[in-house]
Structures are given as structure tokens and as C-alpha cells.
Amino acid sequence: MEVLNLGILAHVDAGKTSLTERLLYTAGVIDEVGSVDDGNTQTDSLALERQRGITIKSAVVSFAIGDVTVNLIDTPGHPDFIAEVERALSVLDGAVLVISAVEGVQAQTRVLMRTLQRLRIPTLIFVNKLDRPGAQYDGVLRQIATKLTPAIVPMGEATHLGTPEAAFKPIVQEDALLEVLTEQDDDLLERYVDGEPLALHEAFTAQTHQARVHPVYFGSAITGAGTEALTDGIRDLLPRARTDGSQLDGSVFKVERGPAGEKIAYVRMFSGTAHVRDRIRFGESDAKITALHVIGEGQANAVPAGRIGKFWGLADVQIGDRITATDDPEPRTTTAFFAPPTLETVISARKPSDKGNLRVALTQLAEQDPLINLRQDDLRQETYVSLYGEVQKEVIETTLATEFGLEVDFRETTTICIERLVGTGAAVEFNKKDANPFLATIGLRVEPAPVNAGVSFELQVELGSMPYAFIKAVEETVRETLHQGVHGWQIPDAHVVMTHSGYSARQSHAHAVFDKSMSSTAGDFRNLTPLVLMTALQEAGTTVHEPMHHFQLELPTDTTRAVLAALARLRAIPQVPALAAETSTLEGEIPAAAVYELEQQLPALTRGEGVLESAFERYHPVTGPIPERPRTDHDPLHRREYLLHIQRRV
């Protein structure tokens, strides 16, 4: 049986969870259609999902369309949960992008469509809520063509818009189809001009598979209008999962805990077959599979290529790990599609006695969402969590209360900046010199690296000049120390060169065992590295960069002056506005810290008619006072305090 792994994506409240319910009902999987408002849908299992009527965690359900098994992944639409969407995209064969016929194309719709196009994921568009008052047909088609992509093919006509009798009549205008297809394919255009016979349906299917054109359906998930035509489109126009290749290759896109606290990994298999009791590799670990479930079939002895399975026994597995055979010579990694979160807050337990339990609970949550990115400040006994937006605070708070029985408080959200190197700096400390209390010689040179190059480490000393464990200790500590630069922010891009090395060989007194006070240990190198690296960083100099969002703002033309004044107060950098008679467009960049404030001010500035779309764009040097981040290490910038912490003496 053929398999299709399908994602449903949309701006929040466009109706994708309701569409999932309708598809499951049509396929006979459920006896009645659940309601998001009533909190009884199949895929929204979290209490907060049912309470708020939004999807927070990706859910996987399975149904059949003829001889095709569809694994349907219902993903969150709220931008605060974009990390969940990211993981779903990595396993899809095709997607359905849901748009509201009332609100039309919204901010998150554009972000999702850009990502789907960049990844070349075949996508059908479903315009939902055709039965709601204010529903549009021609207006929404124009929005899709101008704001998303002009390469669209309306798959029918809508009637009785805005009424319970709203319906969708499947019919494709051959002239319109021919125009779209020939715009995407010069060879097809040449054959048409030469008068050759054209197989339009085959060309349409091929271009949809290639994500070059996008069929558009209209309907209502609540009444069922148009969903039969959409189901036919899913079966006929989206590609099946590829099942070629014998080499084991899968991707972990979700991790959850079972009733006994065991880890359960959701894995999309791209090639090969995973069997129970197979020993497999994932990340830097390997383990034996103890149990398997195939989505839609239940417990199984194997998960073949193209299918999604639940794996037990992988205790150290993390989201983003690639599943490979233990003898695979090339470990694989999963590419991230979205920017990391740019906000963070301090979380604390209301009851002091719950402090330890909170740390354990947050560690488990971070396993399910690695972009939460826990940061522990042992000096102040505080825990930081990174966020995409304020709604995540409520999700974390509710999850901790319902699943772990913990009550927590949050501090005000702050922006996460980074540091970039200005120039090159070098420092060295020699073994058994007066200023160096550690039995180690370390010399380091730091150099700027291109944006997104990451941290690289190079040796300019002979690999055999000292034990490899000592060199490894220096490299690991360099990477760890760069999480807090001169101003306390992470330095994500740098090239570090080890220029000097030296150690005291293993020694002992006569007729005695190994004497640590006379011989170098890895701890000497771990303790000295931060001092040397910080000295080099201070010589090189760093600048603090804050995250900037690109924004696009549609607003009434007569409110442009007031909005520009507000943008100036928020340190935004607008481009020349595209003015029109009634509605104008503003684009530019704005500090991430100011986006929330702009969202709060916008209704009053634009009489409630302004529409804001924003997404992370880049990091930009901070203007004005340099923000400092409280250090969570022992502050190697201040030698005396650092040595007091490390050695209890100066």
C-alpha cells in the first residue's frame, strides 16, 4: 500500500484542526466531527489546547484514501510554536495550507508559504470557512496570487458564500490551467505554440509534485463543503513517500514520555527498515530498539521506508537526531528551517521545596522541544528558558502544573542578543609561571568568522605535543566559554587557534602513587582555558548585536504619518512607504524587543485596520548603551574572583 505523509499548516484559527477532524470523519476513522470550541478534537490532546482552541504540539493520525495510507500531521499555527512546525516539515511528502475565506492571507500564512516554497514541498491550498459571513472568493484568490504565489490553479467555483448552504463545484478552466502551466514550463509552451497535443493533466500533476504550481480548493471544514474535492486532490496530485534505498535513514521529529516515564521517539523512515532488537545509531549514541509501533497499524516488528513509527528503547534520543545503522560511515544531521528564539525569561518555583523538581521537569520539556534551551545560573540559583513569544509562558506554566504538579512564576521577558568579534586577539599562559596556578601551558588566538559559520577550532601545535585528552579538554572548554562573551552574550561565530601547549608529565614521589600536585590533569586545562580565552577576547574586542525583525505593515494611507512616528520611537528602520489611495504598505526592520509593543500600539494608530507581519531577519549592532547579560560562570574576566571560586585561593 502506498504512503503519503501529509502536513496541515495554517495561521492560527484558520481551521486546520477542524479540517483534520473532517478528513478523519470522511475516511471513517471517527464517528462524529469534533469541535475545537468544545475541546473534543482527536489531535488536540493537551488540556491547554482544548481550553484555548489552538494546537500546540504536533499530532500524527492515520487514515486511508483508496489504496493510499495518509499519515496526517496536524501542526501548530501560532507563531510561538514555530519550532513544532519546523520539525513537521522535515518529514513531509506534501502539505495542505489552510487559509480563512474571511480573514484571507494572514501574517503567518506568508511565513509558512515562503518556507514550503523554499523546501520545495508540494502544497495544496484549502480556503476554509466558506460558510461564514464575510467569506470571499475572488478577493482571496487575488490575495493568494499577490501575497503568496501567482502560480495557482482554482479547482472549482464557490456558491452561496457566507451561508450554511455554501458549496464548492469542482471544475477546472482549461484555458486558465494552460496559461499557468506554460508559464512554468518553456518546453510545454513551445509544444503548445507548435500545435502539438498536450497531456495537461499529466503536466499539472508533475508541476504540483515539483511544487511549481498550487491547486486551490474552497470549502468548509464544519459543513464538509469542498472537502471531498480536497480529498481527491490529496490522492491524485500529491506525491507518495519514496521507499527506495536499503541504507537505514530516519529522522526524529517528536519525542514524548510514556506512562512509565520512558522516552518514545516519533521517526519518519526515509530508507531502509528498522526492526525490533536492531541496534541503531542516533546523534552520538547507539541503542537497541525494544518496541515499535507503525502509525495507523499499531504494534509492529518493523517500520519500513516511507512510514512513521514510534520507537522505544532510545534513552538518549533527541529531536533532530537522524536514525542510521551502527556501521554507517556518515552520520547525518537534520537542517533547521527557522530562526532560533530571540526572547528569554527566568522561571522559578513558587515553593522553594520544588526547586529540584522544577529542574527535572524542565529538562524533560527541553527534550520535547530543544529550542526551549535551558540556561542554568548556579551563582544566582536561577533558570532561564528561551521563547518565541509570550503565549509559550502560559503553555509551559500549564504543562508544569498539570503534568508535574508544579506552580511557577516568570520574570519579565528580555531579548537575547549575541556578540561578534571586532578583530583578532591572542593570549598565552605558561606552565609553572608565577601568574599561572595550573599545571598547563595554553596559547589561544581568536579571529572573526563569517556569519553562521559557527565556532571552529584549529591546532598550530603538534597533535602529539601532549596527550589528546588535554587538547580535547581545551577545545570543549573553548566552545563552552564562548557561550558568554565579554558582555555575557554568546559568540556564535569565531575561529580559535591553539598556538601554545605544554604539560607536566605524570609523576609520583618515591614508592608512592600518582601525585596530582606534580602532574597535569585535564582539569588544569579546563580551568585555565577560560582565563586565556577571555584575555584574547578582550584584546580582539566584541560588539553586541540585537535581533532584528523584517516587518511588513498594511495600513490606511491617512494613518501613515502617525505610524512612522511610532516606528521612529521604537528604533525601527522603515523603507520608503508604498503609498496608495486607500491602503499603503510599509516595510523595514525593527528590533525584536519592540515588536510586541508595536503590536499593542497598532490598533489605536490604525483604527484597528493595520495588519502587521514580522519575522526574524538578522542581527544588528546595538545602538546606545551596551546591554550586559548576567554571567552564569565564575567570571573569568575577573581573575581574582575566578581563582577564588575555582581554587578557593588566589
Mean pLDDT by 10 residues, the chain (650 residues): 86 81 82 56 42 46 87 61 61 91 84 83 94 93 92 93 93 89 90 87 94 95 92 93 82 84 88 92 88 88 91 87 79 53 88 89 76 75 81 79 88 91 95 87 95 92 87 95 94 96 74 64 94 96 93 90 93 89 89 87 89 84 90 89 78
Say whether domain 419-540 belongs to CATH 2.40.30.10.
no
**What pLDDT score was predicted for residue 87?**
62
Hey, what CATH class is 249-325 in? Answer: mainly beta
C-alpha cell at 632: 552564569
Encode 307-367 in three state secondary structure: CEEEEECCCCCCCCEEEEECCCCCCCECCCCCCCCCEEEEEEECCHHHHHHHHHHHHHHHH
Beta strands of 460-520 (E only): which ranges?
A: 494-503
Say whether domain 544-621 belongs to CATH 1.20.1600.10.
no
| Sequence-separated (6 or more) residues with CB below 8 Å from residue 259 | none
Which CATH superfamily is 2-237 part of?
P-loop containing nucleotide triphosphate hydrolases (3.40.50.300)
C-alpha cell at 473: 579538554
The letter for the amino acid at 349 is: A
Q: How many CB atoms lie within 10 A of CB 561?
A: 9
Domain with CATH 3.30.230.10 in the chain: 419-540
The DSSP H or E segment spanning 237 is helix 227-237
Q: From the centroid of its chain, how far is CA 120?
A: 17
Domain with CATH 3.30.70.240 in the chain: 544-621
C-alpha cell at 622: 546595538
| Local structure of 48: helix, strand or coil | helix
Q: How many CB atoms lie within 10 A of CB 345?
A: 19
For residues 506 and 439, what is the distance between their CA atoms, to the nearest angstrom? 11
DSSP letter, residue 617: E
**What pLDDT score was predicted for residue 43?**
45
Say whether domain 343-415 belongs to CATH 3.30.70.870.
yes
The letter for the amino acid at 298 is: G
**What pLDDT score was predicted for residue 85?**
62
The DSSP H or E segment spanning 583 is strand 583-591
The DSSP H or E segment spanning 169 is strand 167-170
**What pLDDT score was predicted for residue 147?**
86
Taken in order 291, 292, 297, 298, the sign of the CA dihedral is: positive
**Phi, psi angle pair for 435, to nearest 5°:** -80, -15
For residues 335 and 332, what is the distance between their CA atoms, to the nearest angstrom? 10
For residues 176 and 71, what is the distance between their CA atoms, to the nearest angstrom? 32
The letter for the amino acid at 605 is: L
DSSP percent split of the chain into helix, strand, coil, nearest 5: 30, 30, 40
For residues 540 and 532, what is the distance between their CA atoms, to the nearest angstrom? 13
Task: Report whether 34 contacts 40 (CB < 8 A).
Answer: yes
Residue 159 zone, left/alpha/beta (φ > 0; ψ -120 to 50; rest): beta
DSSP letter, residue 508: B
Please name the residue ranges forming H helices in 508-591.
522-540, 560-569
Task: Report whether 68 contacts 2 (CB < 8 A).
Answer: yes
C-alpha cell at 124: 495544496
Domain with CATH 3.30.70.870 in the chain: 343-415
Task: Report whether 96 contacts 221 (CB < 8 A).
Answer: no
Domain with CATH 3.40.50.300 in the chain: 2-237
**What pLDDT score was predicted for residue 462?**
85
- Half-sphere exposure in the Cβ direction for 39 (13 Å, CA): 7
| Sequence-separated (6 or more) residues with CB below 8 Å from residue 29 | 61, 62, 63
Domain with CATH 2.40.30.10 in the chain: 249-325
Task: Report whether 25 contacts 63 (CB < 8 A).
Answer: no
For residues 605 and 569, what is the distance between their CA atoms, to the nearest angstrom? 14
